[in-house]
Amino acid sequence: MKSIITKEILEKTIRLRHSLHRYPELSGHERDTAARIKSFLTEQKPDQVIEGLGGYGIAAVFDSGKEGPVVLLRCDLDGLPIEEVNTFPYRSQHQGVSHKCGHDGHMAILAGLSMILRDHKPGRGRLVLLFQPEEETGQGAAKVINDTKFRQIRPDYAFALHNLPGFSKNTVIMKEGPFAAASRGLIAQLQGRSSHAAHPEQGASPVHMMCELINELMKVPQNTGLFRDFALLTIIHARLGEVAFGTNPGKALVMATLRTFLNDDMKILDEQARAVALSLAKKHGIEINTSYAEEFPATVNHPRASGIVKNAIERSHAASLMINEPFRWSEDFGHFTGLTQGALFGLGAGEKHPSLHNHDYDFPDEIIETGIAMFYHIADQLLNLHKNV
């Protein structure tokens, strides 16, 4: 494998990573990022490039022309609304936007693999490298899958990785079954009737309902008999009226994030939370409207796909760690594991590395080679990659 991932490939991959880091774009606005990726991929002469997938998504297809499975390897395009504080030469040039989740590194890994695929094509089936938009908002995967152009892909297998600070560099973190939690943002808008602050009795302030709602929502996950596994509800925002000392407020807003390891438990948690909200609205005579934001299904690794990842670990001679409990964070790759046989695995970024979304985070270039090797050996098991002759 060392002879395939050459020094030249690594150096070119790292240069691309630094370029992507300099020009990050937010979810849904990844136009220039996709253009840079397209330019890079075109040099590797894939059999097909599909653009505009679910927005600015782009896929490179390496086709053997023979029967066999379709294997999708996915990375993410978008950055975050976080100001760069690092001072290295490739620091973000876009004020208030930076790659603080490592998506620049994820893209670089797949791009590095594309350089190998130029000379090592699948012996059967098709290999698809997908650069997906809007992962951070939880909308991108669903948009890609629902795009009519995705019908050209229809994967039999799907794989992705995510770098993980807090774990030793180049260690592959794996778990069969639930790997990352389902989550969704619940928004409850309360509407009463405002009045003068001197005469609160003439209005209908939602203040009492708001306070009771916050307390009761947090109690829902404590009813453990309702759930098969982990459930959590976190109040993340609340607002009562506006700052006006002469006004008794008539509206309020409560937001909460719901998390579970199982999709079935998410359905139960959501139903119970909304039931509490509706019951309190009736009790207090307040109108309520509920909606959702940033919905992520649980990422559940398929047994067959998990076995392929484990074999890739052995073939790559990588260090590994099999975890017992899923991660509480969410990843919209869960849409792909719900669609086909798929697996998401972690790649250690360093035990003392700054955490994801921290303002001083930067993807470590030292783990790129292991990422490329893992994806190569995953694809090789299913598609028999071979050197062109």
CATH code for the domain in which residue 376 is found: 3.40.630.10
pLDDT tens track for 258-297: 999 999 999 999 999 999 999 999 999 999 999 999 999 9
Whether residues 34 and 73 fall in one domain: yes
With a cut of 60, say whether residue 389 has pLDDT above it.
no
Say how far apart CA 46 and CA 122 lie, in whole Å. 11
Whether residues 45 and 188 fall in one domain: no
Is 1 a member of any domain?
A: no
Q: How far is CA 378 from the centre of its chain?
A: 20
Whether residues 328 and 350 fall in one domain: yes
CATH code for the domain in which residue 251 is found: 3.30.70.360
What 8-state DSSP symbol labels residue 327?
B
Whether residues 333 and 350 fall in one domain: yes
Say how far apart CA 37 and CA 77 lie, in whole Å. 9
Say how far apart CA 272 and CA 263 lie, in whole Å. 14
Is 302 a member of any domain?
A: yes
Q: Is the CB of residue 221 less than 8 Å from the CB of residue 231?
A: yes
The whole-number pLDDT of residue 130 equals 98
Is 85 a member of any domain?
A: yes
pLDDT top residue among 387 and 82: 82
pLDDT tens track for 16-33: 999 999 999 999 999 999
Is 323 a member of any domain?
A: yes
Whether residues 282 and 195 fall in one domain: yes
The whole-number pLDDT of residue 373 equals 97
Q: What are the distances in angstroms from CA 222 to CA 217, 227, 272, 274? A: 10, 10, 12, 16
The length of the chain in residues reads 389
With a cut of 60, say whether residue 2 has pLDDT above it.
no
Whether residues 54 and 159 fall in one domain: yes
Whether residues 155 and 13 fall in one domain: yes
Whether residues 229 and 89 fall in one domain: no
Whether residues 165 and 19 fall in one domain: yes
Is 194 a member of any domain?
A: yes
Domain termination site, one of 296, 320, 353: 296
Whether residues 211 and 223 fall in one domain: yes
User: How many distinct structural domains can be found in the chain?
Assistant: 2
The whole-number pLDDT of residue 384 equals 94
The whole-number pLDDT of residue 386 equals 83
The whole-number pLDDT of residue 1 equals 57
Say how far apart CA 264 and CA 220 lie, in whole Å. 15
pLDDT tens track for 81-97: 999 999 999 999 999 99
Q: Any idea what the Cα angle at residue 122 is, between residues 120 and 125, rounded to 5°? A: 170
Domain termination site, one of 245, 278, 296: 296
Domain termination site, one of 251, 271, 296: 296
With a cut of 60, say whether residue 337 has pLDDT above it.
yes
Say how far apart CA 389 and CA 387 lie, in whole Å. 6
The whole-number pLDDT of residue 3 equals 72
Per the structure, the complete domain to which residue 197 belongs is given by 182-296
Is 106 a member of any domain?
A: yes
Per DSSP, which regions of the chain are E strands?
48-53, 57-63, 70-76, 120-121, 126-132, 157-164, 172-174, 177-180, 182-191, 195-196, 231-240, 247-248, 251-260, 287-296, 299-301, 320-322, 341-348, 386-387
Say how far apart CA 272 and CA 279 lie, in whole Å. 11
Residue 65 binned pLDDT confidence (cut-offs 50, 70, 90): very high
The whole-number pLDDT of residue 387 equals 75
Is 2 a member of any domain?
A: no
Is 259 a member of any domain?
A: yes
Whether residues 208 and 326 fall in one domain: no
The whole-number pLDDT of residue 158 equals 98
Whether residues 169 and 187 fall in one domain: no
